[in-house]
Amino acid sequence: MSEVAAFIRAVRELYRQPDGAIPLHAPTLGEREKALVSQAIDSTYVSSVGRFVTVFEQQVADYVGARYAVATVNGTAALHTALQAVGVTSGDLVLTQALTFVATANAIRYCGADPVFLDVDASTLGLSPAAVDEWLTQHAVRRDDGVTVHRTSGRVVRACVPMHTLGHPVRIDALVRVCDAWGVTVVEDAAEALGSRYQGRHVGTFGRLGVFSFNGNKIITTGGGGMVVTNDEALACRARHLTTTAKRPHPWAFEHDEVGYNYRLPNLNAALGVAQMERLDDLLARKRTLALRYAALCDSHGWSWIDEPPGARSNFWLCGLMLPDVQTRDHWLGRTNEQQIGTRPLWTPMHRLPMYQHCLRDALTVTEEWAARVLNVPSTPPPQ
């Protein structure tokens, strides 16, 4: 039996599903979700006002250990809001990784800024603190007023957006240290990483702001949804203001003091989120069991398993293997999908997309290698 055939058989055994489709990641929904969504409908508060939004925000804030949480219509909107809240503006540069989902770069562009694509660490798949340090040392200078600018263009390096790839935490403590030394604000794209911790502390709470997504393919879902978390009261207020059309509080008058957004999560979606938060710990435990089984499988076949980084506890949002080369990886992609086993490559790195080809970047050596060799495999928590 070929290696990929052995893999397909093992996945079918894991899911106790001898035939039919096994998706890459499906949401886990049940009676509780139906009950709370029904309650939202019965209340008639289905839109941007209603008690579930506040409850959901409080649940997420408590869970991650942040003082404030602001719910948004999706994770991309949460990122856009967070970047705008820390003052990312037209002409700025924002450091991020090339190996990410396109939303990270798009949110930077929505602010009129340009991303600078830097390499990831092989041990985390996330933004490398050394790459950030090296780029800043070579290409930036900190002015007397504390603002860091790009040497040749004079453009302000306003923020840095590390992304916790596949739910595996980046070396966020080292990143924050480097960025603090340069006066560059860290906003964490933790869209994939709800439930992931670095040295015991939940990701998304190390930067000035952190962002989560509750899209249908994430570990928990609100259909569509996102969240900005922070410990900074002023930033939380700013984020809330921006997401609610910048409306001044008033019993009846419509007064808006800047161009805001209609980004607030509807109550209907929040109801789903409240039910999903109740099962998060169970989903995390089942994901970990699945990851251990994949790890054992890889071990017995000599395949390279992508494990959680040292010092980190990952939510294992998407499980992945590192195949020897792009040919093997593409062969596995073809064979598995033919057999209805949902596998996927990582994203095409941002610097190769037409709208981001002009952006500044470093050599991206690790990025290119991982982009060519990773195979994400079915990661829905199997029934126990």
Ligand X SMILES: *Cc1c(COP(=O)(O)O)cnc(C)c1O
Separation of alpha carbons 227 and 213, rounded Å:
7
Please identify which of the residues 34, 218, 247, 287 carries the catalytic annotation: 218
Q: Which helix (H) or strand (E) holds 201?
A: strand 201-202
Count of helices and strands (H, E) across the chain:
12, 15
Q: What angle do CA 186, 188, 194 make, to 5 degrees?
A: 155
Separation of alpha carbons 184 and 142, rounded Å:
10
Other C-beta atoms within 10 Å of 334: how many?
Answer: 12
Separation of alpha carbons 300 and 293, rounded Å:
11
DSSP-based three-state secondary structure for 377: strand
Kindly give the pairing relationship between strand 140-142 and strand 148-150: antiparallel
DSSP-based three-state secondary structure for 65: coil
- Which tokens go with 172? 């966020």
- Which tokens go with 270? 């929040």
Ranked by CB distance to ligand X, the top (closest) residue is: 75
Separation of alpha carbons 29 and 7, rounded Å:
28
Amino acid code (one letter) for 204? G
CA dihedral sign, ordered 330, 331, 332, 335: positive
Separation of alpha carbons 349 and 118, rounded Å:
11
- Which tokens go with 341? 């086993």
Shorter beta-carbon distance to ligand X: residue 59 or 74: 74
Query: Is residue 218 annotated as a catalytic residue, yes or no?
Result: yes
Residues that bind ligand X (CB under 6 A): 74-76, 100-101, 103-104, 163, 189, 191-192, 213, 215, 226
Shorter beta-carbon distance to ligand X: residue 77 or 321: 77
Separation of alpha carbons 39 and 61, rounded Å:
23
> Residue 336: CB partners within 8 Å, gap ≥ 6?
4, 7, 8, 11, 342, 343, 377
CB of 335 to ligand X, least distance (A): 26
Instruction: Report the catalytic residues.
Output: 218
